[in-house]
């Protein structure tokens, strides 16, 4: 639950009860959760976890939602077997924990996942979606892999990013207005840099009154005033993938 005194990434939200429609597979040296699309259109989406790991039901729920819209989805274990963060953990140790899990050093795993999607799932058009830690990873891979058709970074921390504007393909950024981790000044700076330098399509959306984690970490029975924003953000995510992947 929320630790309001010391808000940290993804600390505000809930773990939903969800079993999943997909199954676990081995992708070279890592495990992954895979859900096949009901319609095989040669399209796939890599879904990148938050700090709570690849087995978090919330992330699998989002992956299955995306799969239901025509994409084979895969949620790889980008922590490569290391323990995810636990909500009851001592947040004072979080910075040290995070140092061993760098969202910008996932290329080896990402390469393996792309190879798997192309060879085993016959994917020809691939996008990527990530939440929090995964949002940072999306920002990274969208600057490095021209073959990715589109990316959606959902409340990915941007304060420590340099050269944030050299995106290779269309990228949607989703932020929350009341995010204790990502101040609006940082979003404004990102907006300014992209406007000045970015050569591809991008969009930045900040959702009024929302907190970090709102897209995938709030329960479906959340307060009525929040639900329209959650629904809109998820719809925007799917529309972005539909347009570019």
Instruction: Give the chain's mean pLDDT.
Output: 91
Q: Which domains does the chain possess? A: 23-244 (3.40.50.1820)
Q: Answer whether residue 109 shows pLDDT above 80.
A: yes
Task: Write the CB contacts of 154 (distance below 8 Å, at least 6 apart in sequence).
Answer: 129, 130, 131, 132, 134, 135, 174, 215, 216, 233, 237
Secondary structure string (H, E, C) spanning the chain: CCCCCCCCCCCCCCCCCCCCCCEEEEECCEEEEEECCCCCCCEEEEEECCCCCCCCHHHHHHHHHHHCCCCEEEEECCCCCCCCCCCCCCHHHHHHHHHCCCCCCCHHHHHHHHHHHHHHCCCCEEEEEEECHHHHHHHHHHCCCCCEEEEEEECCCCCCCCCCCCCCCCEEEEEECCCCCCCHHHHHHHHHHHHHHCCCCEEEEEECCCCCCCCCCCCCCCCCCCHHHHHHHHHHHHHHHHHHC
Question: For residue range 110-157, what is the model confidence (pLDDT) as tens digits?
Answer: 999 999 999 999 999 999 999 999 999 999 999 999 999 999 999 998
Cβ–Cβ < 8 Å for 181, 150: no
Tell me, yes or no, if the pTM score tops 0.85.
Answer: yes
Residue 84 confidence (pLDDT): 96
Q: How many residues does the chain have?
A: 245
Residue 10 confidence (pLDDT): 52
**Portion of the chain with pLDDT greater than 70, in percent:** 91
Question: For residue range 14-29, what is the model confidence (pLDDT) as tens digits?
Answer: 888 899 999 999 999 9
Going by pLDDT thresholds of 50, 70 and 90, the confidence category of residue 7 is: very low
Q: Answer whether residue 2 shows pLDDT above 50.
A: no
Residue 125 confidence (pLDDT): 98
Catalytic residues: 132, 179, 212
Pairing label, strands 171-176, 202-207 = parallel
């Amino acid at each position: 639950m929320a630790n309001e005194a010391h808000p940290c990434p993804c600390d505000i939200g809930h773990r939903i009860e969800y079993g999943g429609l997909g199954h676990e597979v081995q992708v070279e040296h890592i495990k992954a959760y895979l859900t096949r699309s009901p319609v095989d259109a040669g399209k796939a989406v890599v879904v990148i976890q938050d700090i709570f790991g690849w087995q978090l039901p919330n992330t699998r729920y989002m992956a299955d939602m995306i799969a239901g819209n025509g994409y084979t989805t895969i949620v790889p274990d980008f922590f490569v077997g290391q323990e995810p963060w636990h909500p009851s953990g001592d947040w004072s140790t979080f910075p040290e924990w995070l140092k061993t899990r760098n969202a910008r050093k996932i290329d080896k795993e990402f390469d393996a996942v792309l190879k798997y999607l192309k060879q085993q799932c016959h994917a020809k058009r691939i996008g990527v979606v990530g939440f929090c830690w995964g949002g940072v990873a999306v920002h990274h891979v969208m600057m490095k892999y021209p073959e990715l058709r589109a990316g959606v970074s959902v409340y990915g921390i941007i304060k420590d990013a340099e050269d944030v504007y050299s995106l290779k393909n269309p990228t949607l950024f989703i932020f929350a207005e009341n995010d204790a981790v990502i101040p609006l000044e940082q979003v404004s700076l990102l907006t300014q840099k992209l406007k000045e330098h970015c050569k591809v399509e991008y969009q930045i959306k900040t959702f009024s009154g929302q907190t970090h984690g709102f897209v995938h970490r709030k329960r479906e029975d959340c307060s009525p005033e929040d639900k329209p924003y959650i629904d809109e953000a998820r719809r925007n995510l799917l529309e972005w993938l539909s347009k570019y992947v």
